[in-house]
Structures are given as C-alpha cells and as structure tokens.
Amino acid sequence: MRRPIRVLLLRHGETAGRPGILYSQREVPLSEYGLKQTKILVEGLKKVPITAIYSSDLERARLGAEWLAEATKAPLFITPLLREIDFGEWTGKHFSELWELPEFQARLKDPENLAPPKGESLRDLQARALKVMEEIKERFSEGLVAVFSHGGLIRTVVAHALGTSLRHFFRIQQDFAAVNLIDYFEDTTVVHLVNGPFDLNFSTLLSRKSSV
C-alpha cells in the first residue's frame, strides 16, 4: 500500500468578536490571544516538512496559512470552499435571539439536512469541504498538507473520515487553534488526532504511522 496523504486540519485561533454571535462568513479579527495561538502553531509547523498549504479566504484562518507559507515556501492555495458554514439570514445574530425561533429549534434536531434561511445545511458544508479533500488527494501522491479552516467545516471532514453521521456533528469538539490529523489512503482513512492542542510537538505526532 502506498503512503497516505497526511492532512492537518487546523482551526483558526480565538477571535475578538463577542461570544455567542454567529459570525459565519463575515470577517472577524483574531484576538490578542488568538494571534499568540497562531504564532505558536506556525512555529511548531515550521519544524516539519510541509508539502502544501490550503486555507479559507477569511482572514482569521488565512493569516496563519500565509505566515506558514512565508516561512516554509510551500505552495499556498486559498479557496472560499474552506469557509465556515453560511448561516444565511442568521449571520450576525446572537444565539439568544435565535433560540425561540421554531426553525432554529428544528435545525438543532436535524442540522444535517435543514439549513438556515438562505444558508447551508451541514450536508452542503460537508460537500464543499470534501471537494477540497478530493483535490488534495488528486494533486499530491504523498506528503503533508496543512489546511487552515473553521470549526464547523473541520467537524464535517472529521465526521466523514470517521464514517459517522452528521447527526453527531456536535459531539466533535473543536477548540480555537485545534489540530486534527487524518491519513488519506486510496480506499480508506485513518484519524490520528482530533482537537489536539496548538502547542503540541508535531514531530512526535507525525512519527505515528497508520497501521492499515
């Protein structure tokens, strides 16, 4: 069996926005701590060979990708396909404003198929996320690809790699600056890490090989 494509899925750092707001695809800057998380994450990644870097075009994710590309000279691919879920008409609203809406309550019960008004369902989100994973597998025969994105999108990719339903989406924790590692083989996937800390030792993590 050939070597896998190894994909590091990296959530952006802490944002400066008000907690509880659905920022969705709006721009929101990183907080001071979020910038610190991103710098530590990039410093760790600089110590391992990076084949390529992919990123959402939203600044909170793109910033770390650009820093890493500058440091490693690895090719950088920026795409809106890696953006956070589109909350449509709910974008910019606080959870407390939405909680009493019947359509919001309905979506909590079936987020896989139900979308906010003029927004995306989790199935929609996963479909565009997996387009990028397929592109990575087609473009690179092996190596390590760093993907800077957002919590919701990363959860859908991890769920797919684990073979689990999007109904269990909220069971997959994604902290700010979380690290996830997936090996993609031709006919299977192996998940090595979910929601790892941003200051971990990447050399140690990447020394672990898939047993398939």
pLDDT for position 3: 86
- Determine the Cα–Cα distance for residues 196 and 194; give it in Å rounded to an integer: 6
Taking residues 138-158, report their average pLDDT.
Answer: 97
Q: Please give the tally of structural domains in the chain.
A: 1
Rg (CA), the chain: 17
Helix (H, G, I), strand (E, B) or coil at 113: coil
Q: Tell me which of 158-162, 200-204, 205-209 is least confident.
A: 205-209
Rounded to two decimals, the pTM is: 0.96
pLDDT for position 114: 95
Q: Within a domain: residue 172?
A: yes
Do residues 52 and 143 touch, judged by C-beta distance below 8 A? yes
Q: pLDDT band at 72, cuts 50/70/90?
A: very high
Taking residues 122-135, report their average pLDDT.
Answer: 98
pLDDT for position 171: 94
Count of CB atoms situated within 10 Å of the CB of 90: 22
Q: Within a domain: residue 197?
A: yes
- State the DSSP string of 13-82: --BSSPTTB--TTS--PBPHHHHHHHHHHHHHHTTS---EEEE-SSHHHHHHHHHHHHHH---EEE-GGG
Q: What percent of the chain has pLDDT over 70?
A: 99
Q: What is the mean pLDDT of the chain?
A: 96
Backbone angles phi, psi at 182, to 5 degrees: -130, 135
pLDDT for position 56: 98
- Determine the Cα–Cα distance for residues 147 and 52; give it in Å rounded to an integer: 9
Taking residues 150-174, report their average pLDDT.
Answer: 96
Strand partners, 94: 21
CATH number assigned to the domain comprising residue 191: 3.40.50.1240
Taking residues 5-22, report their average pLDDT.
Answer: 96
- Determine the Cα–Cα distance for residues 163 and 5; give it in Å rounded to an integer: 18
DSSP state letter for 154: H
Residue 188 scores a pLDDT above 60: yes
Helices 32-45, 59-72: crossing angle, 10 deg rounding: 30
Q: Within a domain: residue 211?
A: no
Q: Within a domain: residue 137?
A: yes
Taking residues 191-202, report their average pLDDT.
Answer: 97
> Which residue in the block uniquely carries the two structure tokens 């500058």?
70
Q: Within a domain: residue 212?
A: no
Which domain does 61 fall in, by range?
5-206
pLDDT for position 209: 87
